[in-house]
Chain A
Amino acid sequence: AQSVAQPEDQVNVAEGNPLTVKCTYSVSGNPYLFWYVQYPNRGLQFLLKYITGDNLVKGSYGFEAEFNKSQTSFHLKKPSALVSDSALYFCAVRDIRLTGGGNKLTFGTGTQLKVEL
C-alpha cells in the first residue's frame, strides 16, 4: 500500500520569507513523488516531480522540493514567498513497483498556504 501525509492543514508565512510545506510518504518500493497546486475553484496544476536522480528538484514558479529517502520526506520549498503563492498544495506518491492499469497516485489531504504582506 502507498500513502502520503501532509501534517499541516495550514501554513502561514510573510511575503519575502522562505516557505516549507511538509510531506512524508510510505511505499513498499521506491517512489515517484509529485506536488500539485490548486487555486480557488480550479483543478490541480502540476508543480514538480521526483522520479530519480538529484534529490533537489526544481519546478514551476520558483518552487523546489527535496527528496529525503531516509526520512521518507518530500518537502516543498520556496526561498521567498509571494502573496500570489497562496493556494492549496497537494503531495502525491506512486510506488514504482506497481504494475497494471491505472498508475494510481495517492494524494495527501492538502495544505493551505497563506502568504501575507
Chain B
Amino acid sequence: DVKVTQSSRYLVKRTGEKVFLECVQDMDHENMFWYRQDPGLGLRLIYFSYDVKMKEKGDIPEGYSVSREKKERFSLILESASTNQTSMYLCASSLRPGGNLGYTFGSGTRLTVV
C-alpha cells in the first residue's frame, strides 16, 4: 500500500524553537506539498516542491521554510515557532504531471506551540 508518512502525529514546542516536520513518501512522486489546516479556513498551501532541491512558495509561506534533498523526503521548518503556528499540518504528494490523479495525504501532524 502506497504511503505518505509524517514523522509525528502530535508535537508540542515552545515559542522561539526551531521545529522540523518530516514527510516521506514511497510512491516515487515528483510533487510534494505542505498545507496547514485551521477550522473555517480549510487547507492553505505553505510550500510545494516539484523536484529535488526545487521549492516554490504557496499562499502562506511566511515563517516557514522547506527542504527537499531527496525525492522521497520533504521537510517543513518553522524557523522560530510562534503560537499562531499552532495548527494541523498536512503533507501530500502527487505524480507529475499527473494533474488528474489528485494527491495522497499523510495522516497529519498536530502542532501546538506554547
Complex Cα–Cα for A51 and B58 (A): 24
Complex Cα–Cα for A36 and B90 (A): 13
Chain B, interface size category, equals 20 to 34
Q: Which of B48, B99, B106 has the most CB of A within 10 A?
A: B99
A41 touches B110 (CB 8 A): yes
Chain A, interface size category, equals 20 to 34
How would you classify the secondary structure of chain A's contact residues: helix, strand, loop or mixed? loop
Q: Does B94 contact A (CB under 8 A)?
A: yes
Complex Cα–Cα for A30 and B51 (A): 26
Tell me which of A43, A49, A96, A109 contacts B42 (CB under 8 A): A109
Complex Cα–Cα for A96 and B99 (A): 7
A43 touches B106 (CB 8 A): yes
Residue of A nearest to B99 (CB): A103
Q: Does A14 contact B (CB under 8 A)?
A: no
Neighbouring B residues of A98 by C-beta, 8 Å: 99
Name 14 A/B residue pairs within 8 A (Cβ), A-sorted.
A32-B100, A42-B107, A43-B92, A43-B107, A44-B90, A46-B103, A49-B102, A90-B42, A100-B50, A102-B33, A102-B56, A103-B96, A104-B33, A105-B103
Chain A interface residues toward B at CB < 8 A: 9, 32, 34, 36, 41-46, 49, 51, 90, 92, 94, 96, 98-105, 107-110
